[in-house]
Amino acid sequence: MERTLSIIKPDAVAKNVVGQILSRFEAAGLTIAAMKKIQLSQADAEAFYAIHADRPFFKDLVSFMISGPVVVTVLEGENAMATNRELMGATNPAEAASGTIRADFADSIDANAVHGSDSVENAKIEIDFFFAQREIN
């Protein structure tokens, strides 16, 4: 069974739409294998998004990700990564298909409600960043 990581970002947590987003994962056949609500530190956010450290948006991304709590989830199912990416929609909510999480809940390309792993390989790295193996069922 494939696993992927989802982060419900501070903007969506603040809007109180976490339950609606989780319901979409489950309705699409994904199982929540692990979940926790956390407040990222600056060091956590910088480490998690280190691949973007040289990009002009890095500081804003880190600031946004530490602006409030996030809900980190391990999703499991057949083609979990691709299913999650389809549910999320385009990174820019203005370009996201109607009915996707970002079209329905995101405000901007920065405050875009959710993060999802972009490959099966990165999913494992991202899951290991947030969860010990014993936390995943």
Angle between helices 18-27 and 80-88 (to 10 degrees): 130
Q: Quick one: how far is CA 49 from the chain centroid?
A: 12
Whole-prediction pTM: 0.95
Burial 108-135 (b: 16+ CB within 10 A, else e): eeebbbbbbbeeeeebeebbeebbeeee
Residue 62: count other Cβ atoms within 10 Å of its Cβ.
Answer: 21
Extract the tokens encoding 24: 């979409």
Q: Domain boundaries in the chain?
A: 2-135
Return the CATH fold of 2-135: Alpha-Beta Plaits (3.30.70)
How many whole angstroms separate alpha carbon 6 and alpha carbon 46? Answer: 17
pLDDT score of 117 = 97
- Strand ranges, E, within 1-137: 2-8, 31-38, 70-77, 114-116
Per-residue pLDDT of the chain (137 residues; tens, 9 = 90+): 999 999 999 999 999 999 999 999 999 999 999 999 999 999 999 999 999 999 999 999 999 999 999 999 999 999 999 999 999 999 999 999 999 999 999 999 989 999 999 999 999 999 999 999 999 98
pLDDT score of 105 = 98
Catalytic residues: 115
pLDDT score of 54 = 96
